[in-house]
Amino acid sequence: MVLSDRDIKKQLELGRIRIAPLDMDDIQPASVDVHLGSNFRIFKNSTQAFIDPLKTQEGLTESIDVQEGGIFVLQPGQFALGTTVERICVPCDILGKLEGKSSLGRIGLMIHSTAGYVDPGWEGEITLELSNVATLPIILHPGMRIGQMSFEQMTSPVERPYGSAGLGSHYQGQSGACPSYHLR
């Protein structure tokens, strides 16, 4: 069952869902708006001939920090990693789902390819998989609303929450735009 604004507020008040920073105006009818951070990762196309997901490729991406008031230009067809401003923590019986804002989707901005799912027990900033499928560059402003997190109550708490020993939870506690674990 998807949590309503009322239930999200209750879970926040109880400290079961944690979002920091949080502006209560960002709580929508069934989600919470999240904002674009200032850290991005781009692929170094000029020094890498290909990506092999089964091998570690040092230097495949480079980190870019946008200064306050600055912009990040996402070119047509470009893919970059970004991050949310918010650090999010979900308990063992709630999962989160990240989706893009429809107003941004309508201009060709996709904020995740496959990583929109936030496992029970997750804690950290969310890495965004930014793609421009439009024919014009899209200007991204750190701090802008970039997506929305919804939350679903599970039928029971999970046995092994994200971050548990033996799960290989590589991204627990991440900060900034985090590259693929296999590509570090």
Largest CA distance in the chain: 50
d(CA 130, CA 45) in angstroms, rounded, equals 17
| Structure letter (DSSP) for residue 75 | -
CB 111 within 8 A of CB 130: yes
d(CA 37, CA 66) in angstroms, rounded, equals 9
d(CA 109, CA 53) in angstroms, rounded, equals 25
Catalytic site residue from 58, 62, 86, 129: 129
d(CA 120, CA 160) in angstroms, rounded, equals 9
Q: Is 58 a catalytic residue?
A: no
Write out the catalytic residue numbers. 129
